[in-house]
Structure 1
Amino acid sequence: MASKLTVRPPYEAESSLEITLRQAFYCLEPQLRPPFPLTIPTQEQYSLLNKAIIYAILSEPHLRKIHIKHLHGVITDGYGYFTSILAIIVNEIYGKLVDSAKRQLLWITREMVDVAAVGFTDLLGSLLRQIVAGDSSEDNLWLCNEMVTLFSCKWDCLLQEGSSGLTAALYVFLRLLSDHCRVSISNAPKFESLIKLEKDFCVKMLREKFGLCLRIGRDLVRLLQDLVHVPEFRAIWRDLLYAPSVFGVDEFLDISMLYYTMTPKWFFLLRVSPQMESQLRFLLTHVEHGSQLRYQDWFTKKFLSTPEKNAVLIDLVRFICCAHHPSNDIIHSDIIQRWAVIGWLLKSSMKNYITANMKLALFYDWLFFNEKLDTVMDIEPALLLMVHSIPEYIDITNSLLEFLFLLLDNYDLERKEIVLRGVSTSLHTLVRKGVVQSLEVLTRCDKLSPNLKERLAELLSGCSGFVDNSRIPTSQML
């Protein structure tokens, strides 16, 4: 008798996905026991058989070797349909799966990597998204441990079949390492072995496959900066700045080449679970301004219930800025705007270092903005948040401007002209594109700090011509 796949509260309806898989299993159960039928199934029968085998593997761990042999014998599409169903399971019901089903899911995922199944990279990405930043629960740490072990053990297979899986894993584990290293100070035994696995994988990627790492773009630098206190990454950071040739990539001549490479949107999805993404997109496409409080309260209770879980706020800001670009119809409607949601998230932060990293996530694309390569949608929320916080939340405007000037004064002093050019071009583009009619709303704001107003006026007057960073030679960009 097959066991149930999920656990759920009494008031919650059973997942339609689980029902479909279970029905397929009971419909074909006699065919799932040796000797297997030799007939060639129709397309409909093939789809049903794939679902039945998936349910069998997840619910009958003691028979998994029999079921996987059966699967190998009937596959005609390179495991594409089978793998796509596994990804749907991860995206829709992973959090509700019983522990035995989760273990089986990781086992069959490793099998799909071994056979180079069609779509296995998407499956790996779906599993990576289920690792929650700032969550120290046993289940979350177990999944993190399983995934980093998978990527380390299947290194050669993943290299042969494509690099996007390894690059995705690097992005995720660099980000998680930052959280784990901070928590380990007070709870070392729980994190020590996991941190070592994460370090070993990330360092191997950066030292041996740096060409693949470059595909992350400028956010690779942002993640590495948050690990500069870790000796292994301090050495890597030093080489990035002063000895780029040690990475063995001929075209990588200077860290500024990463600055000028925009990070592809799909990386930002890796640190936001499908459930978080669904709720945020609903908020930003269906909820009118003024009606958002109950949705925000639900989101807070569901995903931000403890100070440790606030670590995901950094990822949410990057997701909203760079991976969710609303249509013109929504921009000109009463739907709550991105800047307002980011303002709410900023006020949700309970730790200073998280707040600082959220501000960096908000302004990061300003520092290297190139109108020909970047999009104004990535930099729009920061300016609109500053403008719309006047006058009711002037403290937000002051703190954001202060942080921006802090970046101008301190971010990579040896390449300060790059940052100045990026910020200048950002301001110029935001006005020219009509995001705001004029920056006088800031320079003439009586409630704004006099020092900040003076700095802003100096910045604007000093770049009235605005250096055009679209003329950077192509050879200097990746």
Structure 2
Amino acid sequence: MALNLIKKALHEAENPIEVSLRESFQILEPKLRPPFPLTIPTQEEYSNLNNAILYGILCEPQLANVHLKHLHGIVTDGYRYFTSMLIKIVNDFYGKLFDSVKRQLISVAHETVYVSAVGFDELMVALLRQIVGGDFSEGNLWLCFEMVTLFLSKWDSLLEEEPLVLTFALYVFLRLLADHCRVSNVERIEALKRVEIDFCVKMIRENFHLCLKIGRDLLRLLQDLVHIPEFCAIWKDLLLNPSSFRNEGFADITQIYRTRTSSRYLLLRITPEMESQLRFLLTHVKLGSQKRYQVWFTKKFLATPERETLLTDMVRFICCAHHPSNEIIQSNVIQRWAVIGWLLKFGKKTHVEANMKLALFYDWLFFDDKADNIMNLEPAILLMVHSIPRYMEMTHSLLEFLFILLDNYDLDRKAMVLRGISSAFHILVRKGVVQSLDVLVSCDMLSPFLKESLRKLLPDLNMNCPAELQKSNILCSNTPSYL
């Protein structure tokens, strides 16, 4: 039996959750062996008994079946409390658990689906968030394989009880496949890719109506997988044979482009710890004081070149899942555009840089002010204008990339993309996110081609701004450093 759940250094204090579970187990251990008492526990006794049983399941694998039978016999709340404790363990310290405890955790996760425990879908989400993109360590690949296998083995139950959780899994495994497909001839990863492909294709082919709930980011992920024959066939059907998906309400991928992706999906590719640290940076760290924090963040989450793919997920999270209050926006706390500027500088690989820029501009391409959120647009425009003139190459590369998207992203739907980008610029000016686009079209350091492209794109938008506004505008020459 493992004496502890968590691996910790000698100088580290014990985790209070682990202490609570262990104390309950030690006190109630005599009652955890058959024959079990038939008395009805009070609420406090019930919570302690759940804690003791959970600790026993995780630390006594040889007796796990006994503990589970005990749990099934005493449960009175649909397993709500038991599942909530599992979620706490996963969210708060999954990475520190002993491997034997992790194996038991996956085993009991299967059981929660089997008994339709209240909150089992939240447990599935918590476990999915612990799979780290760009991480090819044995433990991370093991968790990925265990989770995709769980979803396949419990397919019918999930489809009947909590079908939405299957869309969460689809989003995760589509995203992970893009990473895994960059590695070849590694037997363990090849086997994992095969199972991931099987799950994703089964989901899209058999339950397309559920997949539509993901929205436009579904297409963003699929485009990274067109080199895989199964996904190439899916793309062809999306474009040329939409009826093959047997969904009467689906006639064209334009419908998917028009559906904004919920932040619930974007959070799936950021671990709870990453989310906590990014939100702290964007809520408490002052602009100009961020370098020490950035060094720590880089060492913690971006230590290897393979982890660069996480940058795209972080950009998407910042744009769409972290919307600061007006108080934060008007304060001297580091702003979203500045953090994204730093992340863009950090990306070294060409495909990573392109995916980061696409993540930044993706909502621009299909923007509709009746359905979309202007806050998703704000970081890109502010990064472009705040980078003048100190980081002029940033302004130039972003604006150039936006026009490349306009001309090449989806030629059959270029009018839609043109309308989306134009609408994005118009609302940003109309709502006062920027006072005017004059800072761009009158900038001597910006290429004439880009200036002319802007004028053609927005012929009816006022490009001029009074001198007094230019002085107070965010577009000033003494731009603060975001690096």
The TM-score bracket by the shorter chain reads over 0.9
Residues 77-226 of structure 1 mapped to structure 2, 5 A cutoff: 77-184=77-184, 187-226=185-224
Bigger CA drift: 27-36 or 53-62? Answer: 27-36
Q: Report the alpha carbon displacement of residue 447 of structure 1 after superposing the two structures with TM.
A: 1.1
Tell me the distance in 1 between the aligned counterparts of 2:420 and 2:100. 51
- Match of 2:458, SS state, is helix
Tell me the distance in 2 between the aligned counterparts of 1:354 and 1:14. 39
1:467 aligns with: none
Out of 379, 386, 390, the residue aligned to residue 377 of structure 2 is 379
1:443 aligns with: 441
Tell me the distance in 1 between the aligned counterparts of 2:321 and 2:12. 31
- Match of 1:182, SS state, is coil
1:389 aligns with: 387
Bigger CA drift: 11-20 or 169-178? Answer: 11-20
Q: Over aligned residue pairs, what C-alpha RMSD do you find?
A: 1.0
Q: Report the alpha carbon displacement of residue 190 of structure 1 after superposing the two structures with TM.
A: 2.9
Q: Report the alpha carbon displacement of residue 462 of structure 1 after superposing the two structures with TM.
A: 6.5
1:13 aligns with: 13
Amino acid at match of 1:114: Y
Contact kept? 1:424, 1:463, Cα under 8 Å: no
Deviations 1:211-249 (A, max 9, x none): 000000000010000111111100000110111111001
Q: After TM superposition, what 4+ stretches of structure 1 lie above 6 angstroms from structure 2?
A: none
Tell me the distance in 2 between the aligned counterparts of 1:86 and 1:381. 36
Contact kept? 1:2, 1:56, Cα under 8 Å: no
- Match of 2:337, SS state, is helix
Tell me the distance in 1 between the aligned counterparts of 2:75 and 2:439. 64
Tell me the distance in 1 between the aligned counterparts of 2:160 and 2:188. 34
Residues 53-452 of structure 1 mapped to structure 2, 5 A cutoff: 53-184=53-184, 187-452=185-450
How many residues are paired up?
Answer: 462
Deviations 1:36-85 (A, max 9, x none): 11110101111111111111100000000000000000000000110011
Q: Report the alpha carbon displacement of residue 164 of structure 1 after superposing the two structures with TM.
A: 1.3
1:458 aligns with: 456
Which ranges in structure 1 are unaligned for 5 or more consecutive residues?
A: 465-478
Distance 1:134 1:261, change over 3 A: same
Distance 1:220 1:450, change over 3 A: same
- Match of 1:245, SS state, is helix
Contact kept? 1:3, 1:60, Cα under 8 Å: no
Tell me the distance in 2 between the aligned counterparts of 1:383 and 1:92. 36
2:474 aligns with: none
Tell me the distance in 1 between the aligned counterparts of 2:183 and 2:399. 30
Taking only the aligned residue pairs, the percentage that are identical comes to 65
2:51 aligns with: 51
Q: Report the alpha carbon displacement of residue 2 of structure 1 after superposing the two structures with TM.
A: 5.0
2:30 aligns with: 30
Tell me the distance in 2 between the aligned counterparts of 1:13 and 1:367. 49
Tell me the distance in 2 between the aligned counterparts of 1:460 and 1:43. 65
Amino acid at match of 2:383: L
Amino acid at match of 1:175: R
Give TM-score, length-normalised by structure 1. 0.95
Q: Report the alpha carbon displacement of residue 197 of structure 1 after superposing the two structures with TM.
A: 0.1
- Match of 2:251, SS state, is coil
2:466 aligns with: none
Tell me the distance in 1 between the aligned counterparts of 2:117 and 2:435. 52
- Match of 1:226, SS state, is helix
Tell me the distance in 2 between the aligned counterparts of 1:188 and 1:103. 23
Give TM-score, length-normalised by structure 2. 0.94
Q: Report the alpha carbon displacement of residue 463 of structure 1 after superposing the two structures with TM.
A: 7.1
- Match of 1:183, SS state, is coil
Tell me the distance in 2 between the aligned counterparts of 1:287 and 1:105. 36
Q: Report the alpha carbon displacement of residue 167 of structure 1 after superposing the two structures with TM.
A: 0.5
Contact kept? 1:362, 1:382, Cα under 8 Å: yes
